[in-house]
Amino acid sequence: MGDRLGVPWLGQTCHHCRYCLADRENLCDNARFTGYQLDGGYAEYAVANERFCFPIPARYSDVQAAPLLCAGLIGYRALKMTENATRIGFYGFGASAHILIQLARHQGKQVFVFTRSGDRAGQDFARELGAVWVGSSSEQPPEALDAAIIFAPVGSLVPLALKAVAKAGIIVCAGIHMSDIPSFPYDILWEERVLRSVANLTRQDGEEFLDLAAQFPIATRTNTFCLEAANDALTALRQGSIEGAAVLVVDRAEND
């Protein structure tokens, strides 16, 4: 009683399907998700399975911690999938990317950021957080990358990212949804380049990431909206006018 807990996207699994038994519970055939099949997220109170909740590091306020539980967790799983890459490209620089660039730099990696053409605010934000190079999504980086994470749900970025990575480079698609990927010549996939997607997270991902967050101060840039303004927050996200992460708060005083 009294512990402060975070409730993540993955809210329940069956524990006995082929994926759960293989420690791949994020792919569980019968998984249930917070705010989707399970109530929660848009409410003052919610019931959650304690086995799928995480203790929140004391150094973060509720608002600062909120992006860690969604954007941070899925971004962390995507970063793990880049394996031992030292030069990583980020396509899109929103809620996940602004958290993961801090962790990647802490791990000694170089981050190259690609944004929409003309997105000066996003590019300046990326430079502020330590990107070694920033350009538009249509540009090629100054050197071949070891891996790239596509945060933007734009399928046309996949061929561009494949062209940007070196032999055996890894492309990770980090979104739940993405527009159709256009056809592309086999030669940009050849030489053992890898294209893969991220699906959800495991509890191990959450425990690892929040343990890192407790040790290394990740600064989350937040834009708060009261719960009644949830539609305004969604509109701002669609328009790309959010720098960092949008956070809904129930307590009006905390929002002020």
Same domain, 55 and 117: no
pLDDT at residue 256 above 70? no
Same domain, 128 and 144: yes
Average pLDDT over the chain reads 92
- Looking at residue 253, its pLDDT comes to 54
- Residue 209: both structure tokens together: 């990431």
- Residue 234: both structure tokens together: 């969604």
Tens of pLDDT, residue by residue over 100-109, are 999 999 999 9
Same domain, 23 and 110: no
- Looking at residue 40, its pLDDT comes to 82
Tens of pLDDT, residue by residue over 42-89, are 778 889 999 999 999 999 999 999 999 999 999 999 999 999 999 999
- Looking at residue 55, its pLDDT comes to 94
Same domain, 21 and 124: no
pLDDT exceeding 90 applies to what percent of the chain?
Answer: 82
Distance, in Å, from the CA atom of 23 to the CA atom of 37, rounded to the nearest integer, reads 22
- Residue 97: both structure tokens together: 């990317």
DSSP state of 44: S
Same domain, 147 and 82: yes
Same domain, 171 and 82: yes
How many whole angstroms from its chain centre is CA 98? 9
Instruction: Find the mean pLDDT for residues 95-115.
Output: 95
Domains held by the chain: number = 2
Last residue of a domain, one of 197, 224, 241: 197
User: What is the CATH number for 244?
Assistant: 3.90.180.10
User: What is the CATH number for 83?
Assistant: 3.40.50.720
Same domain, 184 and 209: no
Q: What is the per-residue DSSP string for 116-172?
A: -TT-HHHHHHHHHTT-SEEEETTSPPSS-EEEEEE-S--TTHHHHHHHHEEEEEEEE
Same domain, 80 and 127: yes
Show Cβ contacts of residue 22 under 8 Å, excluding neighbours closer than 6 positions. none
Last residue of a domain, one of 197, 213, 233: 197
Same domain, 9 and 26: yes
Tens of pLDDT, residue by residue over 123-179, are 999 999 999 999 999 999 999 999 999 999 999 999 999 999 999 999 999 988 999
Q: Three-class SS of residue 76?
A: helix
Same domain, 84 and 193: yes
Same domain, 82 and 190: yes
Show Cβ contacts of residue 252 under 8 Å, excluding neighbours closer than 6 positions. 226
pTM of the model: 0.92
- Looking at residue 241, its pLDDT comes to 84
- Looking at residue 252, its pLDDT comes to 53
Q: How confident is the model at residue 238 (pLDDT cuts 50, 70, 90)?
A: confident
- Looking at residue 46, its pLDDT comes to 87
Q: What is the per-residue DSSP string for 159-215?
A: HHHHHHEEEEEEEEE--S--PPPPP--GGGTTTT-EEEE--S--HHHHHHHHHHHHH
203 touches 10 (CB < 8 A):
yes
The residue range of the domain holding 237 is: 5-71+205-255
Same domain, 124 and 169: yes
